[in-house]
């Protein structure tokens, strides 16, 4: 049994519906505001709302800058129907979250998860890492392939023998995501997992300079890294001297000679299903498939640990199903009531995605594009 089951059980205790709840009448709008609407690394603000029922538990969720939505904390209104909670941008001198605007939603749910009252507020995380100068930082090249290249960073102009702290700022709109297990029927029965991946700027290394005040550092990226522009910043802890450099991370080009046809052009970001008709592959062969998000992150469809594989029939064809968002529990799961859905996170970035499949033996490859869209909040 997967280790995520324990986490699912814990999350079930407080998770509430945050996508497409049932609405039977027009919801009322609460007023929400904050002490500050722009937060740099380590800064916090109070968020306030009024207009809810007194002494009532409220469900919250938030949308990251790329449109990914995730469950937040539950909060309880006071005797006057007001709530207050904290919103923080990382930890000073350690990390900050993705730069951009986050939308926070606070909602009171009624029968059948109908929205009774809701309020929203937007807070922007700002900053471009260290503002450093006086030294030099260069990369071995400006454009890198995530599947093969390594990065050599060379620093100079720092104090001899000092510790230089290296920071990285990830591309904009590179945020959290859902990953997919495959438990049977080519995705027809499933358990999805989630990955909170909101960190935007963070410390990656402390490096000691040589007698000339220089250093060389080698960096790698994983296959799950987002494509786009990465910004490195180096700062001497003694001298205060520093420098920045930027590199572009790209993915490989893929040639196709098989077919994947989506059942629809677009799919909702949570608890919605799209199917792909596969053909042109080898007889009865297993497919290796992955999705690529709008921010260029490639994720295996059918994570290691899946109970089953994606497989085509004797004629080299088959149907693959993908249900968006996490955590969604199989209707056949013995651990939960039939049809139970615990919403934790949407599929990921909104926009155009790709499903790519390659035959494990024939190496035949096909790509299909589809759009993941978000749901409207207002009933």
Give the tens place of pLDDT for each residue, 225-262.
Answer: 888 899 999 999 999 999 999 999 887 778 899 999 99
Residue 109's pLDDT is what?
Answer: 85
Question: Within its chain, how far is the Cα of 307 from the centroid?
Answer: 24
Summarised one tens digit per residue, pLDDT across range 153-185 is 999 999 999 999 999 888 877 888 888 877 777
Confidence of residue 339 (pLDDT cuts 50, 70, 90): low
* Confidence tier at 338 by pLDDT (50, 70, 90): low
Q: For residue 378, is pLDDT > 60?
A: no
| Cα–Cα separations (whole angstroms), residue 351 to 87, 112, 269, 292 | 27, 30, 10, 11
Q: Please compute the mean of the pLDDT values over residues 2-6 and round it to a whole number.
A: 31
Quick one: what percent of the chain has pLDDT higher than 90? Answer: 45
- Phi, then psi, of 4 in degrees rounded to 5: -70, -15
State both tokens at 212. 């000339």
**Percent of the chain surpassing pLDDT 70:** 84
Task: State residue 8's pLDDT score.
Answer: 32
CB 65 within 8 A of CB 175: yes
Across the strands, what pairs with 21? none
The pair of structure tokens assigned to 87 is 């919103």
Contacts of 167 (CB under 8 A, 6+ apart): 129, 130, 201, 202, 203, 204, 232, 233, 234, 235
CA 118 to chain centre: 25
Q: Show Cβ contacts of residue 189 under 8 Å, excluding neighbours closer than 6 positions.
A: 183, 330, 331, 332
Task: Provide the pLDDT for residue 303.
Answer: 67
Q: Rounded to an integer, what distance in angstroms lies between the CA atom of residue 252 and that of residue 367?
A: 13
Kindly tell me if the per-residue pLDDT of 333 is higher than 80.
no
How far is it, in rounded angstroms, from Cα 99 to Cα 172? 7
d(CA 56, CA 62): 20
Q: What is the pLDDT of residue 130?
A: 58
Query: How many CA atoms lie less than 13 Å away from 340 in the CB half-sphere?
Result: 17
Instruction: Read off the pLDDT of each residue in 193-201 and give the average, rounded to a whole number.
Output: 79
Residue 59: pLDDT band by 50, 70, 90 thresholds?
A: confident
pTM score, whole prediction: 0.79
Q: What is the pLDDT of residues 75-112, one digit of tens each?
A: 999 999 999 999 999 888 888 888 889 999 999 988 87
Question: Residue 313's CB: how many other CB atoms inside 10 A?
Answer: 14
Say what the pLDDT of residue 355 is: 95
Report d(CA 221, CA 335) in Å as an integer: 37
pLDDT reported for residue 9: 31
- pLDDT value at residue 258: 94
- Please provide the average confidence, as pLDDT, over all residues in the chain: 83
* Residue 276 in this model has a pLDDT that exceeds 70: yes
pLDDT for residue 241: 93
Please tell me the predicted confidence (pLDDT) of residue 88: 92
Question: Could you tell me the domains of the chain?
Answer: 4-125 (2.60.40.10), 136-179+198-250 (2.60.40.1930), 259-373 (2.60.40.1930)
Look at residue 224 and tell me whether its pLDDT is greater than 80.
no
* The pLDDT of residue 3 is above 50: no
Tokens of 59: 């469900």
Question: Does the structure show a pLDDT above 70 at 349?
Answer: yes
């Amino acid at each position: 049994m997967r280790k995520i089951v324990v986490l699912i059980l814990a999350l079930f205790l407080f998770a509430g519906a945050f996508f497409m709840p049932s609405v039977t009448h027009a919801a009322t709008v609460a007023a929400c505001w904050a002490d500050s609407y722009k937060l740099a690394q380590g800064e916090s603000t109070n968020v306030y709302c009024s207009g809810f029922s007194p002494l009532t538990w409220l469900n919250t969720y938030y949308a990251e800058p790329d449109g990914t939505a995730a469950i937040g904390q539950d909060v309880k209104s006071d005797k006057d129907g007001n709530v207050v909670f904290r919103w923080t941008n990382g930890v000073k001198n350690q990390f900050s979250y993705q730069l951009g605007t986050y939308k926070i939603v606070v909602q009171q749910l009624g029968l059948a998860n109908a929205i009774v009252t809701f309020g929203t507020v937007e807070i922007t995380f700002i900053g471009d890492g260290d503002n450093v100068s006086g030294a030099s930082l260069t990369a071995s090249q400006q454009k890198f392939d995530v599947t093969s290249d390594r990065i050599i960073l060379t620093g100079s102009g720092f104090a001899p023998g000092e510790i230089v702290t290296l920071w990285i700022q990830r591309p904009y709109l590179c945020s959290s995501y859902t990953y997919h297990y495959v438990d049977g029927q080519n995705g027809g029965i499933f358990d999805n997992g989630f990955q909170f991946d909101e960190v935007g700027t963070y410390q990656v290394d402390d490096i000691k300079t040589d007698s000339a005040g220089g250093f060389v550092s080698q960096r790698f990226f994983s296959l799950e890294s987002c494509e786009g522009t990465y910004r490195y910043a180096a700062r001497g802890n003694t001298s205060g001297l520093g420098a920045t450099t930027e590199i572009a991370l790209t993915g490989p080009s893929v040639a196709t000679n098989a077919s994947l046809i989506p059942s629809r052009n677009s799919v909702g970001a949570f608890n919605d299903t799209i199917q792909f008709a596969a053909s042109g592959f080898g007889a009865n062969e297993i497919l290796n498939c992955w999705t690529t998000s709008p921010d260029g992150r490639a994720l295996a469809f059918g994570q290691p640990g899946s109970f089953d594989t994606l497989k085509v029939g004797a004629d080299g064809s088959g149907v693959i199903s993908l249900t968006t968002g996490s955590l969604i529990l199989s209707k056949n799961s013995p651990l939960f009531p039939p049809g139970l859905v615990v919403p934790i996170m949407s599929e990921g970035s909104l926009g155009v995605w790709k499903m790519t499949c390659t035959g494990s033996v024939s190496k035949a490859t096909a790509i299909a594009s589809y759009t993941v869209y978000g749901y409207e909040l207002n009933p």
